[in-house]
Amino acid sequence: MIEAQQLTKRYGEKTAVDRLDFTVRPGTVTGFLGPNGAGKSTTMRMIVGLDAPSSGSVTVNGRRYAEHTAPLQEVGALLEAKSIHPGRSAFNHLNSLALTHGIPRRRVEEVIELTGLQSVARKRAGAFSLGMGQRLGIAAALLGDPATVMLDEPVNGLDPEGVLWIRNLLTGLAAEGRTVFVSSHLMSEMALTADHLIVVGRGRLLADTTVKDLIRQSGGDTVKVASADPARLRELLAGPGVEITGRSGSEELEVTGLAARAIGLKAAEYGIALFELSTKGVSLEEAFMELTRDDVEYHGSTTVASAPDDRNTEAAEPVGSAA
């Protein structure tokens, strides 16, 4: 359980984190989402006490991180991938962290096995690939068997196999009852793993919601249906929680609150011919961009003359997000 109250971090004039209030609960994967420079990393650094808040506070399981007698047992954090000395072997790195807490050597071997690092555990960590470095960071995060696992951009730079491994790991950890808090600037990734979402932009809280609600709010799961008798169909489909829009004179209707399958069955039952039936799912990506459009810190301007597309000129994608 992580609780932030009016958490604020200012660097001179710039406010990196602006009065954030949120709670990360155990048993689910909570995604921490925002464009680059939204203050996600700074928030995570404040959670584990690497940065001190300018004002407000953040606690882990009811106490400030530094006040715990065994901090690694409360929160296991992967911050930046390279929080290691490149000259030290993976085993020695993990063992040195374990020694501070009296964590037995057996547990060190265990996390090495869990993260699949056995074959390289005795090699200098500086020679590790990005994926291996990420696994080592996760091994360190899991070392204390922590109640809360916090990972900053864990899938960054991983190959598909690595990404899949992280996804399964996260859902597995949450299923064990742990608090899992994962940051990302990729909505699509969060959609696959997170249940709950905390969305930030320019340090401010934009949404504290579930993946489902976010889609619904942004008008997701609309079904477009074109039929021979839109007026009749409209009457048939009407019901609680169902919203239908359509222009008079048009054979198209837009239905929210009903699945395409249900609409099709209903139309068949009453013998109404359908010409088109398609789910116009608003992607989470679009929902996210809609939400953070005004809060993207670095707008890229696309000046490629050959692509005068609407989407390009909008350029809601933060520069460097592909990195």
Angle, helices 230-237/260-269, rounded to nearest 10 degrees: 110
Q: Does 25 bind other proteins (CB under 8 A)?
A: no
Nearest to 109 by CA among 90, 134, 132: 90
**Quick one: which of 36, 59, 73, 312 contacts other proteins (CB under 8 A)?**
73
Nearest to 171 by CA among 152, 190, 146, 199: 190
| Residues numbered 158-187 forming contacts with other proteins, rule: CB under 8 A | 176-178
Give the helix/strand (H/E) hosting 98: helix 90-101
Q: Does 37 bind other proteins (CB under 8 A)?
A: no
Q: Does 39 bind other proteins (CB under 8 A)?
A: no
Return d(Cα 237, Cα 234) in angstroms, integer.
5
- Identity of residue 176: E
**Interface with other proteins by CB under 8 A: which range of 100-108, 224-232, 260-268, 275-283?**
100-108
Vertex 46: Cα angle to 71 and 295 (nearest 5): 145
Distance of CA 133 to the CA centre of its chain: 21
Of 52 and 323, nearer to other proteins (C-beta) is: 52
Which pair of tokens denotes residue 269?
């039952």
**Quick one: which of 83, 156, 209, 279 contacts other proteins (CB under 8 A)?**
83
| Residues numbered 113-152 forming contacts with other proteins, rule: CB under 8 A | 140, 144-147
Of 95 and 183, nearer to other proteins (C-beta) is: 95
**Quick one: which of 22, 32, 65, 128 contacts other proteins (CB under 8 A)?**
65
Q: Which residues bind other proteins (CB under 8 A)?
A: 45, 48-52, 61, 65-66, 68-73, 77, 79-80, 82-89, 92-93, 95-97, 99-103, 140, 144-147, 176-178
